[in-house]
Amino acid sequence: RSSLNTLSLQLKPLPILDLCYCWSLDFVESLAIISYRTKYILVMVEHCSKWIEFVALPQNSSKLVAMAFLD
């Protein structure tokens, strides 16, 4: 049995400073075929208001993500 003098670290949430300050983006591969042009769903969540946007995309490329995010 070892005795370690360590502090118990607690998790703290990241500060949310203002509306539209922090977004989370992730891809979901389409569970059902929406159309032949759509294969991925981009999920965007704004942390302050918890606003959610879904965008159907044919590819998971950075160019399409940037265009969808700025639209």
If pLDDT is split at 50, 70 and 90, which confidence band does 37 have? confident
Residues sharing a CB contact under 8 Å with residue 41, sequence separation 6 or more, in sequence order: 27, 28, 29, 30, 54, 55, 56, 57
Asked if 30 and 40 count as a contact pair (C-beta separation under 8 A), the reply is yes
Q: What is the dihedral of CA 54, 56, 60, 65, to 10 degrees?
A: -60
Provide the pLDDT for residue 43.
96
Token pair 């569970």 in the structure block, residue: 31
Residue 5 has pLDDT above 80, yes or no: no
Residues sharing a CB contact under 8 Å with residue 63, sequence separation 6 or more, in sequence order: none
The residue with greater pLDDT, 52 or 14, is 52
pLDDT tens by residue, 38-56: 888 999 999 889 999 999 8
Residue 58 has pLDDT above 80, yes or no: yes
Provide the pLDDT for residue 6.
61
Q: Which two tokens stand for residue 15?
A: 């500060």
